[in-house]
Amino acid sequence: MAYENASNQRKEMIALKFKEMLQKKSLSKISVSELVRQCGINRKTFYYHFEDIFALLKWTMEQETIMVIQQYDLFRDYGTVIKIVTDYIDTNHAMLHNIYNSVGRNQLHRFFFENFRELIRSVTEEAAKMGSCQVSEAYIAFLIDFYTEGIAGSMTREISTPSHYRKEDLPDYIFTTFRGILHSLKEADGKRL
Q: Region 174-190: what's the mean pLDDT? A: 83
Higher pLDDT, 126 or 56: 56
Q: What is the pTM of this model?
A: 0.73
- Mean pLDDT comparison of 60-64, 146-150, 186-190, highest-scoring range: 146-150
pLDDT at 2: 67
pLDDT at 40 over 90: yes
7 Cβ contact partners less than 8 Å away, ≥ 6 residues apart: 49
Banded pLDDT at 173 (limits 50, 70, 90) = confident
CB of 93 closer than 8 Å to CB of 52 = no
pLDDT at 3: 64
Banded pLDDT at 47 (limits 50, 70, 90) = very high
pLDDT at 77: 75
Per-residue HEC secondary structure of 16-51 comes to HHHHHHHHHCCHHHCCHHHHHHHHCCCHHHHHHHCC
pLDDT at 112 over 80: yes
Q: Region 165-182: what's the mean pLDDT? A: 78
pLDDT at 163 over 80: no
CB of 11 closer than 8 Å to CB of 59 = yes
- Average pLDDT across the chain, whole number: 84
CB of 147 closer than 8 Å to CB of 105 = no
Q: How far apart are CA 52 and CA 85, in angstroms?
A: 25
Q: How far apart are CA 88 and CA 26, in angstroms?
A: 18
Residues 86-106 have pLDDT tens digits of: 788 788 888 888 888 877 788
Q: Region 56-81: what's the mean pLDDT? A: 77
